[in-house]
RNA sequence: UCCCCUAUAGCUCAAUUGGUAGAGCGGGCGGCUGUUAACCGCCAGGUUACUGGUUCGAGUCCAGUUGGGGGAGCCA
């Protein structure tokens, strides 16, 4: 008999009554009735709900096996779908055969016992946490959001560019990098002046894991017009917060013949499409998050979808913050034009002042990267961040500096070596055009959508300082 | 990297001013029931993270180490 997914059974509901099916999955719980039947909740991860398998004493392995099958055991069940006599489910499987494929060797120490566990504990058993309700839901939500990203871009004539993971740029401008090397650390080759001789390394030069695909994707933008990358990025910062990972996934579109306003529109359109698909496809998981994790998460998304994102200049943001201070609002850090906003300032703008995501635009050039386009005022650059309640910055983007002379003077100002960026500068020498793009943090977006408190719990295996067990 | 908090049963937590460890959940066994956060009874399970110190006596106080968490910075 061909197995079917539990999701496919629930999709058809009572229509499926009378059919013979085979399902395969893992036991969530088992409840016994001494009348001679057991109710085995089986999950295969295809949807939030588990299927109730009704196993009677007529099964030849009922007392020897079914009555001993507890949480975590893998099972195959065959039988007929019937409408349920009990409350809580529309259909259930009246089993004619239940095979225990894999036992749990010691139920007393099985790490995922059927009870509430803390997320901190579950991180220590990350190889098993996917079996819990929460992480199953996270996995499906993550998939749906990722698919929605590709769907949105594909529908809007973007090309997915697979930018490299290993990069020869040692300064992509976004933080500390992980070194990639095959040199023998115990016996490093040296140059005559005593430095490590990277010409002997695998690539014949220093290489690192990428911190951003942006510079590479810009090159393809200058030919295919609308492009994006979506892949893992790596930052060797010693960051210990609920918003940072050493390995995280980032979506980075780049659009040619475009300015900052169009960039912000693109970010808004992408986020709204992602969340629209999420509510449409994962209502079951989102109801769980609303029920157990964050009561307001669905309403928050619905509110986001219902109105345009607030757009605000950095300078106006500073004015709002100064006005708040004047009215007696206390911040730990002072606010003044020219300094980067602290977390508490960002939170005030997005959580207190607006209550929805805010697109903050046109920052002082001193606090932003070299590639961001200098505005006509000479003191700000065409940068935009999208700040979201609860998580802070989920998008960082800009219109790129397309003028070679301005780019070069910015490189010099920031004490960077133009020669290192020779191929990036070439884009400005051969058919340059105004263009813009941004980076959307995938895990932060999931945190925002689900109300989960920590990015470490929305990625299958988190990498953080001092933590790479799995 | 800085600041703060924390470490007790498989898990979540209790344990008066320092007096020698307890509950719930989970697990096993039994009872009951078309059950579904099931319910009732019994049982098992702990060098109180580690090292050292103070004390007649340390889960409790002190120091160090290690792990975990929260916040800050960096950013996505």
CA atoms of A221 and A437, how far apart (whole Å): 10
CA of A39 to C1' of B40 (A): 20
Higher per-residue confidence, A36 vs A381: A381
The C-alpha R_g of chain A, in whole angstroms, comes to 27
CA of A132 to C1' of B58 (A): 39
CA atoms of A12 and A7, how far apart (whole Å): 9
Higher per-residue confidence, A390 vs A269: A269
How many CA atoms lie less than 13 Å away from A379 in the CB half-sphere? 6
Find which nucleotide's C1' atom is closest to A391's CA. B76
CA atoms of A359 and A436, how far apart (whole Å): 15
CA atoms of A284 and A293, how far apart (whole Å): 14
CA atoms of A255 and A400, how far apart (whole Å): 10
Enter the ipTM: 0.87
The predicted structure's pLDDT at residue A391: 86
CA of A120 to C1' of B15 (A): 24
Average pLDDT on A312-335 reads 92
A244-287 pLDDT, tens digit per residue, is 999 999 999 999 999 999 999 999 999 999 999 999 999 999 99
Backbone angles phi, psi at A151, to 5 degrees: -60, -45
Classified as helix, coil or strand, A121 is: helix
Q: Report, in ranges, which bases of strand B sit under 7 Å from a protein C-beta.
A: 1-2, 10-13, 24-29, 31-38, 44, 67-76
Q: Which helix (H) or strand (E) holds A12?
A: helix A6-12
Find which nucleotide's C1' atom is closest to A82's CA. B34
CA atoms of A260 and A266, how far apart (whole Å): 10
Higher per-residue confidence, A145 vs A85: A145
Find which nucleotide's C1' atom is closest to A369's CA. B75
CA of A187 to C1' of B66 (A): 31
Give which of A284, A37, A6, A19 is closest to A139, Cα–Cα. Answer: A284
Position A174 pLDDT exceeds 80: no
A345-382 pLDDT, tens digit per residue, is 999 999 999 988 999 999 999 999 999 999 999 999 99
Look at the block and give the residue holding tokens 């039988």: A79
DSSP secondary-structure letter at A186?
T
CA atoms of A276 and A301, how far apart (whole Å): 8
Backbone angles phi, psi at A414, to 5 degrees: -95, 15
Give which of A237, A278, A273, A236 is closest to A253, Cα–Cα. Answer: A273
CA atoms of A433 and A448, how far apart (whole Å): 34
Average pLDDT on A58-64 reads 89
A256 touches strand B (CB under 7 A): no
Chain A span 235-254 residues with beta carbon within 7 Å of strand B? 235, 237-246, 248, 250
Q: Which helix (H) or strand (E) holds A203?
A: none
CB A144 within 8 A of CB A281: yes
Q: For a pLDDT cut of 70, what percent of chain A falls above it?
A: 99
Residue nearest to nucleotide B10 (CA to C1'): A109
Position A224 pLDDT exceeds 80: yes
CA of A68 to C1' of B39 (A): 20
Find which nucleotide's C1' atom is closest to A111's CA. B10
Chain A span 23-42 residues with beta carbon within 7 Å of strand B? 29, 31-35, 37, 39
Position A416 pLDDT exceeds 70: yes
Position A171 pLDDT exceeds 90: no
Q: Which helix (H) or strand (E) holds A294?
A: none
The predicted structure's pLDDT at residue A5: 96
CA of A13 to C1' of B31 (A): 36
Find which nucleotide's C1' atom is closest to A85's CA. B34
Mean pLDDT of all residues in chain A?
92
CB A121 within 8 A of CB A46: no
CA of A247 to C1' of B66 (A): 25
A296-311 pLDDT, tens digit per residue, is 899 999 999 999 999 9
Q: Positive or negative CA dihedral for A355, A361, A364, A370?
A: positive
CA of A248 to C1' of B67 (A): 24
For A84-154, strand residue ranges (E) read 91-102
**Facing residues of A180 across strands?**
A207
Look at the block and give the residue holding tokens 């990015």: A455
Q: Mind giving me the DSSP string for A342-376?
A: PHHHHHIIIIIIISS-EEEEEEEGGGS-TTBPBPT
CA of A439 to C1' of B72 (A): 24
Q: For a pLDDT cut of 90, what percent of chain A falls above it?
A: 74
Residue nearest to nucleotide B36 (CA to C1'): A88
Position A40 pLDDT exceeds 60: yes
Position A109 pLDDT exceeds 90: no
Chain A span 102-161 residues with beta carbon within 7 Å of strand B? 107-109, 111, 113-118, 120-121, 123-124
**Facing residues of A247 across strands?**
A234
CA of A242 to C1' of B53 (A): 37
A174 touches strand B (CB under 7 A): yes
Chain A span 409-448 residues with beta carbon within 7 Å of strand B? 439-441, 443-444
CA atoms of A297 and A303, how far apart (whole Å): 10
CA atoms of A451 and A290, how far apart (whole Å): 8
A456 touches strand B (CB under 7 A): yes
Position A329 pLDDT exceeds 80: yes
CA of A33 to C1' of B33 (A): 6
Helices (H), A27-132: 119-124
Position A54 pLDDT exceeds 60: yes
Position A230 pLDDT exceeds 90: yes
For A235-357, strand residue ranges (E) read 247-256, 310-313
């Amino acid at each position: 008999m061909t197995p079917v997914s539990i999701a496919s059974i629930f999709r058809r509901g009572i229509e499926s009554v009378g059919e013979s099916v085979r399902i395969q999955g893992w036991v969530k719980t088992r409840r016994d009735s001494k009348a001679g039947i057991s109710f085995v909740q089986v999950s295969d991860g295809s949807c939030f709900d588990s299927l109730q398998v009704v196993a009677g004493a007529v099964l030849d392995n009922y007392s020897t096996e079914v009555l001993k099958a507890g949480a975590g055991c893998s099972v195959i069940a065959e039988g007929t779908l019937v409408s349920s006599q009990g409350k809580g489910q529309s259909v259930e499987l009246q089993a004619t055969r239940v095979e225990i494929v894999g036992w749990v060797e010691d139920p007393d120490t099985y790490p995922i016992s059927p009870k509430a566990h803390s997320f901190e504990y579950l991180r220590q058993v990350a190889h098993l946490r996917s079996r819990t309700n929460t992480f199953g839901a996270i996995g499906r939500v993550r998939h749906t959001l990722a698919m929605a990203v590709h769907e949105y871009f594909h529908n809007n004539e973007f090309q997915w560019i697979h930018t490299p993971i290993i990069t020869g740029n040692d300064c992509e401008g976004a933080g500390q990098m992980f070194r990639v090397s095959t040199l023998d650390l115990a016996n490093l080759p040296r140059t005559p002046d005593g430095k490590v001789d990277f010409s002997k390394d695998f690539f014949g030069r220093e290489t690192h894991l990428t911190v951003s695909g942006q510079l590479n994707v810009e090159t393809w933008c200058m030919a295919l017009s609308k492009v994006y990358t979506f892949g893992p990025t790596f930052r060797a910062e010693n960051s210990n917060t609920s918003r940072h990972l050493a390995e995280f996934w980032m979506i980075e579109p780049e659009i040619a013949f475009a300015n900052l306003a169009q960039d912000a529109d693109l970010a808004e359109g992408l986020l709204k499409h992602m969340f629209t698909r999420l509510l449409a496809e994962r209502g079951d998981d989102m109801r769980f998050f609303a029920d157990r994790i964050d009561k307001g998460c669905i309403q928050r998304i619905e509110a986001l979808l219902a109105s345009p994102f607030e757009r605000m200049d950095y300078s106006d943001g500073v004015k709002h913050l100064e006005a708040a201070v004047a009215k007696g609002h206390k911040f730990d850090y002072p606010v003044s034009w020219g300094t980067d906003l602290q977390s508490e300032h960002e939170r005030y703008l997005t959580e207190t002042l607006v209550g929805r995501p805010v697109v903050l635009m046109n920052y002082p050039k001193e606090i932003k990267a070299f590639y961001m386009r200098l505005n006509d005022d000479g003191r700000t650059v065409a940068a935009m961040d999208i700040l979201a309640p609860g998580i802070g910055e989920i998008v960082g983007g800009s219109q790129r500096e397309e003028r070679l002379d301005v780019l070069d003077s910015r490189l010099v100002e920031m004490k960077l070596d133009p020669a290192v960026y020779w191929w990036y500068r070439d884009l400005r020498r051969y058919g340059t055009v105004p263009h813009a793009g941004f980076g959307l943090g995938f895990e932060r977006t999931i945190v925002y959508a689900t109300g989960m408190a920590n990015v470490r719990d929305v990625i299958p295996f988190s990498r953080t300082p001092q933590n790479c067990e799995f």
